[in-house]
Amino acid sequence: MWGWWRAPCSWPGVSADEAGAAGGETGGVRGETRPAGGETGRAERPATDNGGPSLEKVRLVVEEGAAGRLDRYLAGRADLGLTRSRLQQLMAAGHVLVEGSPARPAQRVRPGQSVELLIPPAEEPQAVAEPIPLAVVYEDEDLIVVDKPRGLVVHPAPGHGRGTLVNALLARCRDLAGVGDRLRPGIVHRLDKDTTGLLVAAKNEPSLRALAHQVAERTMVREYLALVHGQPPEEGRVDAPVGRHPVHRQRMAVVAPPRGRPALTLYRVLERFPARGAVARLAVPGAGRGGGYCLLAARLHTGRTHQIRVHLAHLGFPVAGDRLYGPRANPLRLEGQALHAWRLSLVHPRTGRPLTWESPPPADFARALTTLRRLASASAPP
């Protein structure tokens, strides 16, 4: 089914060695991003000390021009550093007050309103074993390759202490605890929560070091399929620094150094679905330059958080189903961004044998492709 991708191909603007050196979607083992703080109108955070765990009090005044839902407004303030889900939890607990009264997530903000947040200390996440089913593609005494489904977070973090891939791996691989980072044992690279596909984890320290070295040297190859809005050129090289969005902390963006770190994405067009006939009825107006949809193959020469999604949106070709960087309209009924890590190639850390695995896209991605192919064929000129 996936033989069309096996044909040798050259990647734009890089040597053959560089083309084979694909980074991961979110970088290597020790990838780090530094959130950008707000530059104006910072919230006031009075110190609290009552001899034990206390609620941090944060007071602010809604600035002129602000509008919309309270939870969205507060989540967009870089000086708070709180997600909408975290804010909604605080509101449900009565820890967000507007003019002294408990607030609701959907209530509208007005300039001049006084807002007070009472923030409990963040709970320290812990990696514990949980019997979560995994789609295991390959496993031996040194490594395990899984096909990550959409919605599964890779490792514990504040707000995601349980139900992660690491929790599942700890239950399956009894000796994994202590291999590398305490919260990310065995993790070599990551995928976004709603990005699907192949991911490898190490089961011992020597394998972790060897696989991490392959990521750092870009000899571990991870290849992605992306269904995007619009009609990009046949191939492209996106060389644009990526960093935390200066206002919306849950988003990344193309930003100038030093906030933006070097990022290089290579892509090739595999199939086009022009906006004509029945395909035009599924196209989102203004979503992508040229209209319609396009299936791309992508490789990362670097590995910044959300890199493929940010770079393609920056070009004007956002990934279909990506509500963070693209349109909210979803006529293809995708369950998340149509971005899938479909092929993984590495050298076995113990035997030195080259290994490659492939994974077809998830059902919703495959269904969208089937629909577009059928409609495009029916709409093709005679």
Instruction: Give the residue among 317, 187, 335, 312 at the shortest CA–CA distance from 252.
Output: 312
Ranges of H-type helices in the chain:
16-19, 70-75, 84-92, 165-172, 205-216, 278-282, 307-315, 363-379
Per the listing, tokens 């770079």 go with: 311
Q: How many residues does the chain have?
A: 382
Among the options 79, 140, 147, 192, which is catalytic?
A: 192
Paired sense of beta strands 339-347 and 196-202, if any? parallel
Instruction: Give the residue among 268, 265, 275 at the shortest CA–CA distance from 234.
Output: 268
- Please give the structure tokens belonging to residue 65: 């021009």
State the Cα–Cα distance between residues 174 and 168, nearest whole angstrom.
Answer: 11
State the Cα–Cα distance between residues 89 and 86, nearest whole angstrom.
Answer: 5
* Percentages of the chain per state (helix, strand, coil), in multiples of 5: 20, 25, 55
Whether residue 153 contacts residue 131, with contact meaning beta carbons closer than 8 Å, is answered with no
φ/ψ (deg, to 5) at 379? -95, 0
Cα 374 to the chain's mean position, in Å? 30
φ/ψ (deg, to 5) at 309? -65, -45
DSSP 8-state class, residue 5: G
192 is catalytic: yes
Per the listing, tokens 């009609």 go with: 231
Report the 3 state secondary structure along 51-70: CCCCCEEEEEECCCCCCCEH
Residue 261, amino acid:
R
Please give the positions annotated as active site: 192
